[in-house]
Amino acid sequence: MKKLLIVESPAKIKTISKFLGKDFQIMSTLGHVKDLPQRSLGVTLGDPIALEYTPLEGKKKVITDIVKQARTCDEIYLAPDPDREGEIIAWHIGQEIEKAVKNKAKIHRIAFNEITQTAIKEALEHPSNVDLKKVAAQQARRVLDRWVGYEVSPVLWRKIQKGLSAGRVQSVALRLIVEREEEIVAFKPREFWTIDGHFAHDKDTIVAELTHIGTKKAEIGSKEQAQTVVTDLGKQSFVIDSIQDKTRKRNPLPPFMTSTLQQAAYNRLGFSVQKTMQVAQKLYEGVSIEGNQVALITYMRTDSLRIAQTALSHVRTHITDNFGAKYVPAKAQLYAKSAQAQDAHEAIRPIDVAYTPDRVKGFLESDEARLYTLIWQRFVACQMNPAEYAQRQVTIKSDGYTFKVTGSTLIFDGFLVVYRPEDDEEEKKVKLPSTLKEKNPVKLTKTEPKQHFTQPPARYTEGSLVKELEKEGIGRPSTYASILQTIRKRAYTALDEKKRFVPSDLGKTVTTMLVKNLPQIMNIKFTAHMEEDLDKIAEGNLERDTLLNEFYNKFNKDLTVFKESSSAKPVIATEIHCPQCKEHNLVIRKGKAGEFIGCPGFPKCKFTSNFTRAEDGTITLTAAEPPKKLDAVCPQCGKPLQERMGRFGRFISCSGYPECKYIQQTKASFKCPLCKEGDVVQKSWRGGKFWGCTNYPKCRFAVFGDIEETPCPKCKLPFLVKKVAKDGSVALMCFSKECGYKQ
C-alpha cells in the first residue's frame, strides 16, 4: 500500500523517514502554499464573507508535485505543524488534493507534538480531519490583519509619507514603545537618601539599613535631612531588639513556553526573538547525533505548561539516578496553564532527558547547544525539590531609630544544582555572626549616608517587550517573533547602544495619528479582547463572520472619517521661540530630505534649521553644513566642483548650480548590457545605492547593491553582483537568472 505524508518543513523529512517504512513517501509544502492576493484585498463582505486565495510565488510547482504524487497513493496524511498556521496549510493543500483524488476518505489530518516514533505512530493510528474551527480562527486573524494593513497604509502614505504601513498588532506594540519613551522624557527624578549603620558586636561588625525613624518609615529627601539624622544617631545607644530565624523555600520555575523561552534566551544568551525561534525550530525538526537523525525538543510554539506523563516519569528517574532521591519531590510537579493558553500542546521540553547537554554538544552548532542546554536545564529543574535557605533577620533599635539586616544561607540547593534563574539574587550573601543574642548591646561605629535618585522606567528590550505583550494579552506565542521583526525592520524604531527600542519621530507621528483617528485598533485592551475572540472561534464558541462583521462596521466608520480628515502634514510642536520673527514656537516637519525645524508662520516667516535631539528630548538648533569647495573643476563649464549634503547623503556637483546641473557619478567601465548604448552609473535613492543605465526611463536596467567588474566565468556578462551577509561573508553571483552562477 502506497502512502503519502505531507509535512510543513523539509527539514523534518530526514528525521521522520527513519520511523516509517518503504511504503511512505514524505513531501514538504515548504511552509504556506496559498494566501490572500498580494495586489488586491481578497476579502469580499457578504454572507458568508468570501476570501480569495492564490498560490504564493514559487509554490505552484510545489502544489503540482504534491498533487501528482497524491494521485498514486492509497492513503494521504496531512501533517503540517500542530497550530492554526499548520491547520490552514493542511486545509489549503488538502483542497488541492481533493480536486484530483476521487476518494476523499483517504485524505487524513494528523498532528504530533514531538517528532518521535511513538508520537508519529500514535498520530497515524488516530487520524482525523482538518479542524475547520482552527482554520476559521486563522482566517479571522488574517482578514483582520489584511483590513488594517491594506486599508490604513495608503492613508498614512497620503497624510505623512509614501512607503509607510500599519499593522493590527504591530501598531499596538509600537504604541507601547512610544508611550514608554514619553514616560521617560516626562520623568522627573526624585532625590532620596539611605543610611547604613556599622555596628560592633564582640569582634564582628554588622551592617544594617535604617528602616524607621520613630514609628514611621525612614524617608529622607535631602542631604541636610540625612546629616541631621546622622548627627542624632551618634547620640544613641543601640541593642539587638529581635532575632527571627526561619527556613525559606525557593520553588523552581515552570518549564518553558514560547514567551518565557524567548525572554530567557534574550536575557541569558543574547538571542533575538527571531533567532530563538529559528534555533528552536532546528532542535524540533531534528539534528544528526551519534549517526542518527534525532529531534531534541517538543513543539516550540506553545503557551501551555502541560507535561506528558511519560516525560514526567522519565525525568523523575533521571533525577534520582543522577542527583539522588532527596532531589525528587514525592509527587510530580504540575503547573497551571496560563489564562490565555490555547491548543492541546505541551510545554517546551527535551524529548528524551537522556540526551543531556554534555552528550549532544559535540554534535550541535554553538547556538543550538546553548539553547538546548537552557531548555534541558529548565525542564529538569522544574521537577526537582525546592532550594532551602536558613534566613535570619536582625533588628537593632535605639529609642528613636530602627535598623534591620537579613542574612540568608543556602542549606539545600535543590533545583539550583541544575538551573539558576537569570534574576538570581541569592549570590548577594549577608553573613551574620552566630553569637548574636537578643537584648545584647551593640555599638554604632560608623554611619554611611548614600544619595539616590529615582530612575525612569527602562526602555523595552526584545525580552521585556515580549513580557509586556504577554502580560497585556497582545498577540500569541506564534506571532511574537514576526511582531518584533516588523517593528525592527521599519523606520518606526531604532535600537540604542544597549539594544533597547527607541521610537523614531516617524514612529511617534504615526502612533499619534493612529491613536487619534483609529482608537479601536490602537486600544490595548481591545486588541487583547480580539485575541480572546480568536481563541473562541478556534474552540467553536464564536462564528468567524460574527467577529469580522462586528470589527469591520466600527473600523470602516473610523477609517472613512480618517480618510476625509485634513491632509495637512503632521508637525511636532517645540518650546523653541522662532529667532527670526519672534512670534511663533518652532515646529518639526518632515521634508523630502528628512526632518527639519521651521517656523509655522511660513510663508511670512521662512526660518528653517537643522536640529539635534538629546536622549531626554531636548532640541538644539544646528547650522546647515556649507558646501565644501574641491580642487577640481566641472568638466562641463569649468567652474570649481563642491561637495554637498543632499537628501541621500554627500555628493559632488558643480558650484555653478542652477546654471550648470553637473553631478559627478561613479561610472562602470562597460556599457549597459540591456540597451547596449547607455553608461552604467551609480545612483542613490531612499533605500541606498544602485547601478542604473543613463538612458532611463527608456532603459530600465538596474542592479540594487554593489557590483564587481569581473566577467561572469559562465556567461561572460561583464560584471558580477556583490552580496555581503550579516556575518561579513561575501558572495558573487551572476545578474542573469538564466545563468545562475554563484561564487
Q: CATH no. for residue 68? A: 3.40.50.140
Q: Are 266 and 276 in contact (CB under 8 A)?
A: yes
**What pLDDT band is residue 617 in, cutting at 50, 70 and 90?**
low
Q: What is the DSSP string of 641-702?
A: EEEEEETTEEEEEETTTTT---B---EEEEE-TTTSSSEEEEEEETTEEEEEETTTTT---E
Asked whether the beta carbons of 577 and 601 are under 8 A apart, the reply is no
**Rounded mean pLDDT of 212-231?**
96
Our answer to whether residue 299 is catalytic in this structure is yes
| Confidence band, pLDDT 50/70/90 cuts, at residue 600 | confident
End residue of a domain, out of 130, 149, 169: 130
Task: Tell which wins on pLDDT, 692 or 688.
Answer: 692
Residue 246 and residue 283 share a domain: no
On the question of pLDDT at 646 being above 70, the answer is: no
Quick one: 212 and 119 in the same domain? no
Domain assignment of residue 347, yes or no: yes
Average pLDDT over residues 566-581: 79
**Spatial distance between the Cα atoms of 168 and 533, rounded to a whole number of angstroms:** 15
Same domain flag for 294 and 361: yes
pLDDT range class, residue 622, cuts 50, 70, 90: confident
* Mean pLDDT score, 275-280: 95
Tally of structural domains, the chain: 6
Residue 119 belongs to a domain = yes
Q: What integer is the mean pLDDT of 458-487?
A: 90
Can you tell me the distance from the alpha carbon of 663 to that of 641, in angstroms, rounded to the nearest whole number?
A: 9
Strands (E), 312-414: 387-397, 401-412
Residues 424 and 483 reside in one and the same domain: no
Contacts of 221 (CB under 8 A, 6+ apart): 190, 191, 192, 193
Task: Answer with the residue of higher pLDDT: 572 or 285.
Answer: 285
Share of the chain above pLDDT 70, in %: 94
pLDDT for res 588: 85
Residues 468 and 521 both lie in one domain: yes
Residue 675 pLDDT more than 80? yes
Q: Any idea which residue has 543610611 for its cell?
A: 195
Residue 365 falls inside a structural domain: yes
In a domain, 649, yes or no: no
**pLDDT (tens digit, 9 = 90+) per residue, 47-76?**
999 999 999 988 999 999 999 999 999 999
Look over the chain and give the mean of its residue pLDDT values, rounded to a whole number: 90
Q: Is 426 helix (H, G, I), strand (E, B) or coil?
A: coil
Give the pLDDT score at 338.
55
Encode 155-199 in three state secondary structure.
Answer: HHHHHCCCCCCCCCCHHHHHHHHHHHHHHHHHCCCCEEEEEEEEE
Domain span at residue 736?
668-743
676 found inside a domain: yes
- The answer to whether position 581 is within a domain reads yes
Bridge-based pairing of strands 287-289 and 238-250 is: unpaired
Catalytic residue among 77, 266, 299, 401, which?
A: 299
Region 624-638: mean pLDDT is 83
pLDDT tens readout for residues 418-444: 999 876 655 456 778 888 899 999 999
Per-residue model confidence (pLDDT) at position 429: 66
Last residue of a domain, one of 453, 483, 503: 453
206 close to 394: Cβ distance less than 8 angstroms: yes
d(CA 488, CA 249): 41
pLDDT score for 431 = 78
- pLDDT for 77 equals 97
Q: Do 437 and 479 share a domain, yes or no?
A: no
Point out which residues pair with 165 in neighbouring strands.
none
> Is residue 538 located within the same domain as residue 617?
no
Same-domain status, 163 and 46: no
Domain assignment present for residue 643? The answer is: no
The answer on 344 and 233 residing in a single domain is no
Among 154-163, 174-183, 237-246, 566-575, which stretch is predicted with the lowest mean pLDDT?
Answer: 566-575
State the pLDDT confidence band at 36, using cuts at 50, 70 and 90: very high
Q: What is the CA radius of gyration of the chain?
A: 33
Return the DSSP state at 417: G
* pLDDT one-digit tens code per residue, 490-514: 788 988 889 999 998 889 989 999 9
pTM above the 0.75 mark?
A: yes
Check pLDDT > 70 for residue 726: no
Q: Out of 410, 431, 453, pick the residue that ends a domain.
A: 453
Indicate if 469 and 519 belong to the same structural domain.
Answer: yes
CATH number of the structural domain spanning residue 345: 1.10.290.10
Residue 343: what pLDDT?
Answer: 45
Kindly state the average pLDDT of the residues 542-559. Answer: 96
- For residues 125 and 227, state if they share a domain: no
For residue 230, give the H/E element and its range: helix 223-233
Q: Is the pLDDT of residue 342 over 50?
A: no
Q: Are residues 114 and 24 in the same domain?
A: yes
155 close to 510: Cβ distance less than 8 angstroms:
no
Share of residues in the chain with pLDDT > 90 (%): 64
CATH number where 153 lies: 1.10.460.10
Q: Within a 13 Å sphere around the CA of 43, how many CA atoms are in the beta-carbon half?
A: 20
pLDDT at res. 737: 78
- 665 pLDDT band, cuts 50/70/90, is confident
What's the rounded mean pLDDT across residues 349-365? 95
Strand partners, 452: 192
Q: For residue 112, what are the CA distances in angstroms to 16, 352, 535?
A: 11, 16, 20
Whether residue 35 has pLDDT greater than 90: yes
Whether 483 is in a domain gets the answer yes
pLDDT band with cut points at 50, 70 and 90 for residue 461: very high
Residue 614 has pLDDT above 80, yes or no: no
